[in-house]
């Protein structure tokens, strides 16, 4: 799961570059909005990471007003999902073990997280936050053991990892065991991205590229077959990574190299909930689907799972394609 933590570097896994009213240069390609149609861009931060939204629309004032409404939605959802805000709903849930009268957004996303947890056999588990705390504290100490936390401490943390022990019934949300905690950073960025594109589509803005932690594209600008995006490789440095065109789809990438606890990269934020250790199967996994939230969660799960069942999982979840990158090359798996 991707942590939201400001004292550790969280390098962006999907790289996007855009320009307001100017050609979009991304992945080595130039995109123009069309004759007389400017590109309007907002850029800022969401859940502690850089974010931006680009619209191709002839009415620049109307586009900027719509972007303002998207920003208000991002701010609202950060008050639900942010681990950095001490009074967000998820922070209160982790601190108190229960939130009475939880928001619909929190209940929906926890329920969806449990659904994907079941589909993936527990590989996607939002209750891995105790593991994050354990590793962050271990490697923040002076002279930490390079082999990671002690087995006893790891076993104690694992006893509090089980997505099935979240109670999402009724209007309240709570844990069935003391000591549990959740992070939704493996799905919330995608959820917020989906909310932004839904708002814009419902208001009649159909040529949109949004990166609010994960990336979603609606229709491309006139004369283009898709918005060019780059799947950045944390190990390849600036400008590295595959280029592709995205239209009416979302893509999310999970890469252990994006946030490392140790210099060697043996321990990172993509935890296997069964062992408590970091998954080392792939350098990165990307998933393309119609939902940024779904792509977000599945890319996390597929970083942990053996590759043999990938196509079956994609079909069961309603996703389209997975892209695995390893030291030996790249493999695409279709649903």
SS3 string, 142-196, reads: CCCCCCCCCHHHHHHHHCCCCHHHEECCCCCEEECCCCCCCCCCCCHHHHHHHHH
Assigned domain for 198 exists: no
- Domain total of the chain: 1
Q: pLDDT tens, 76-121?
A: 999 999 999 999 999 999 999 999 999 999 999 999 999 999 999 9
Neighbouring C-beta atoms of residue 275, cutoff 10 Å: 12
How confident is the chain (335 residues) per 10-residue block, as mean pLDDT?
Answer: 38 34 35 68 87 93 94 96 94 97 96 97 96 87 82 95 94 95 94 96 95 93 90 63 90 78 73 86 90 96 92 96 88 92
Assigned domain for 271 exists: no
pLDDT value of residue 109: 97
The CATH number of residue 113's host domain is 1.10.3980.10
Distance CA 286, CA 251 (A): 7
Assigned domain for 86 exists: no
- What are the structure tokens assigned to 274, written together? 């069964």
pLDDT value of residue 256: 66
Assigned domain for 335 exists: no
Assigned domain for 73 exists: no
- What are the structure tokens assigned to 97, written together? 């073990």
pLDDT value of residue 17: 32
Assigned domain for 165 exists: yes
pLDDT value of residue 255: 79
Distance CA 128, CA 58 (A): 45
pLDDT value of residue 288: 97
- What are the structure tokens assigned to 271, written together? 């935890």
- What are the structure tokens assigned to 187, written together? 């799905």
Domain range for 140 is: 97-175
Assigned domain for 274 exists: no
pLDDT value of residue 233: 66
Assigned domain for 313 exists: no
Q: What residues have CB less than 8 Å from 331, skipping those under 6 apart?
A: 307, 323, 324
Helices 104-119 and 292-302, packing angle to 10 deg: 40
């Amino acid at each position: 799961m991707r942590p939201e933590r400001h004292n550790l570097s969280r390098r962006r896994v999907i790289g996007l570059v855009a320009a307001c009213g100017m050609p979009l240069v991304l992945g080595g390609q130039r995109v123009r909005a069309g004759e007389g149609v400017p590109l309007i861009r907002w850029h800022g931060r969401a859940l502690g990471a850089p974010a931006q939204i680009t619209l191709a629309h002839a009415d620049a004032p109307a586009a900027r007003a719509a972007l303002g409404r998207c920003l208000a939605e991002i701010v609202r959802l950060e008050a639900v999902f942010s681990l950095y805000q001490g009074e967000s709903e998820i922070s209160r849930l982790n601190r108190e073990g229960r939130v009475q009268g939880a928001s619909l957004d929190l209940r929906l996303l926890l329920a969806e997280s449990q659904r994907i947890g079941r589909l993936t056999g527990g590989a996607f588990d939002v209750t891995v936050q105790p593991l994050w705390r354990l590793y962050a504290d271990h490697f923040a100490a002076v002279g930490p053991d390079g082999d990671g936390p002690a087995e006893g401490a790891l076993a104690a943390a694992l006893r509090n990892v089980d997505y099935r022990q979240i109670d999402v019934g009724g209007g309240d949300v709570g844990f069935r065991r003391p000591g549990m905690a959740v992070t939704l950073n493996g799905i919330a960025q995608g959820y917020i991205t989906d909310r932004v594109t839904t708002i814009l589509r419902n208001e009649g803005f159909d040529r949109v590229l949004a990166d609010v932690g994960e990336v979603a594209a609606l229709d491309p600008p006139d004369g283009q077959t898709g918005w060019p995006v780059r799947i950045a490789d944390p190990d390849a440095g600036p400008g590295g990574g595959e280029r592709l065109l995205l239209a009416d789809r979302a893509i999310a990438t999970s890469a252990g190299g994006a946030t490392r606890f140790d210099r060697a990269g043996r321990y990172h934020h993509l935890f296997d909930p069964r062992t408590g250790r970091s998954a080392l199967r792939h350098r990165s996994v990307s998933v393309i689907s119609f939902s940024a939230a779904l792509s977000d969660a599945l890319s996390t799960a597929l970083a942990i799972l053996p590759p043999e069942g990938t196509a079956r999982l994609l079909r069961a979840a309603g996703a389209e394609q997975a892209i695995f990158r390893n030291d030996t090359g790249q493999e695409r798996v279709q649903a």
